[in-house]
């Protein structure tokens, strides 16, 4: 079942906890200081298919 799910994800793998952690670390850093009021999709590119 996991292999079938991965076929539907453009990046080809189910996200890892570290993927979410990396996003949180970026958003908490000065590098994201100009990002305000955004919803960030962390879905391996699945929203591109909508």
pLDDT tens by residue, 25-48: 999 999 999 999 999 999 998 887
Domain CATH for 25: 1.10.8
Number of domains in the chain: 1
Tokens 């850093």 label which residue?
A: 29
Q: Residue 13: which domain range?
A: 2-49
pLDDT, position 47: 84
pLDDT, position 38: 94
Q: Is the pTM of this model over 0.85?
A: no
Residue 50 neighbours by CB distance under 10 Å: 4
- Please state, in angstroms and rounded to a whole number, the distance separating the CA atoms of residues 5 and 34: 34
Contacts of 48 by beta carbon, 8 Å cutoff, 6+ apart: 10
Instruction: Return the ∠ at Cα 38 (arms to 33 and 42), rounded to 5°.
Output: 100
- Give the residue, 47 or 4, on which the prediction is more confident: 4
pLDDT, position 20: 96
């Amino acid at each position: 079942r996991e292999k079938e799910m991965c076929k539907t994800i453009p990046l080809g793998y189910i996200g890892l906890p570290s993927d979410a952690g990396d996003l949180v670390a970026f958003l908490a850093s000065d590098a994201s200081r100009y990002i305000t009021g955004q919803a960030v999709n962390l879905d391996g590119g699945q929203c591109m298919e909508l």
